[in-house]
């Protein structure tokens, strides 16, 4: 696994991670059950976070990509948090799934999500 995080831009963070998993003595069936892992699997994660409006608004883009050519799917999350006042934060975002060849992303392709959250801490 290799990861790099960069804070050089004002009020921005960029993160890139890559991992390659290799399973020694890989078997397609274990104890009669199929194994839904590849012998050699690569994954990537990219994240960009930025603060806006005196750090009251924070946006995040996160992409997780599975497979060397993203053949095993991807998950993308777009999110914005806005601090309305001390202790009151509103969050809105979308979660996008790209179908892949392996579970669970082989069935998630048509299950994108929109979310809204209002949190009051007192």
Indicate if the pLDDT at residue 93 is higher than 90: yes
Q: What is the mean pLDDT of the chain?
A: 88
Write down the pLDDT at residue 19: 93
Which of these, 51, 113, 52, 53, lies nearest to 78 by C-alpha position?
A: 113
Write down the pLDDT at residue 30: 65
pTM for the structure as a whole? 0.81
Write down the pLDDT at residue 22: 87
Kindly report, residue by residue over 71-86, the tens digit of the pLDDT: 888 999 999 999 999 9
Which of these, 44, 45, 55, 43, lies nearest to 12 by C-alpha position?
A: 55
Q: Where along the chain do its domains lie?
A: 2-120
Average pLDDT score over residue span 53-59? 92
- Can you name the residues that pair with 63 across neighbouring β-strands? 46, 76
Q: How far apart are CA 19 and CA 41, in angstroms?
A: 8
Residue 105 has φ and ψ, to the nearest 5°, of -75, -10
Write down the pLDDT at residue 108: 76
């Amino acid at each position: 696994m290799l990861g790099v995080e960069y804070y050089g831009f004002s009020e921005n963070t960029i993160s890139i991670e890559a991992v390659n998993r290799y399973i020694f003595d890989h078997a397609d069936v274990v104890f009669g059950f199929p194994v839904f892992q590849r012998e050699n699997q690569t994954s990537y994660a990219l994240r960009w976070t930025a603060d806006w409006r005196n750090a009251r608004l924070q946006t995040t883009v996160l992409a997780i990509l599975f497979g060397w050519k993203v053949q095993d799917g991807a998950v993308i999350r777009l999110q914005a948090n806005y601090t309305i006042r001390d202790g009151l934060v509103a969050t809105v975002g979308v979660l996008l799934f790209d179908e892949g060849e392996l579970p669970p992303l082989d069935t998630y392709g048509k299950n994108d999500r929109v979310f809204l959250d209002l949190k009051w801490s007192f």
